[in-house]
Amino acid sequence: MTEPYREGEDELAERAFKYLNGHPGLEILPVTAAVARQAAEVQAKLGGTPERSMQVATALLGGAKAYVAHKTALRRIAGMEIISLDDFAAE
C-alpha cells in the first residue's frame, strides 16, 4: 500500500487495508531466510523493487492464490491471480 500513500491516494490505501485486514483468507507471514533467497530469484527473473520481490516471494512460498498490487506491470506470477488496488477505487 506504499504506492497509493506515496501518490496521495490515502483513501484508496485505507479502503484496501480495511478489506484485506478483514479478509478471512489472508494470512500475514514472516520474512525468513527462505523468503530472502526466493526474493533474490524473483527479482533476477522479474525485476522490480526489492520490496515487491519480497512480497512476491512470500506469496509464492506461502501458497498464495492471489497477489494484490497497485499500478503494476505484473500480469501473472506462478499461476496466482493479480488483483489491482485500482479495483477498490471503483467501489
- Residue type at position 86: D
- What span, in angstroms and rounded, lies between the C-alpha atoms of 26 and 46? 24
- What span, in angstroms and rounded, lies between the C-alpha atoms of 17 and 61? 22
Walk along the chain (91 residues) in steps of 10 and give the mean pLDDT of each run: 85 84 80 95 86 89 83 67 70 53
Alpha helices (H) in the chain, listed in sequence order: 2-6, 10-21, 33-46, 50-61, 86-89
Report pTM: 0.66
Please report the pLDDT score of residue 88 as a whole number: 60
Q: How far apart are the first and last CA of the chain?
A: 17
Please report the pLDDT score of residue 37 as a whole number: 97
- Residue type at position 63: G
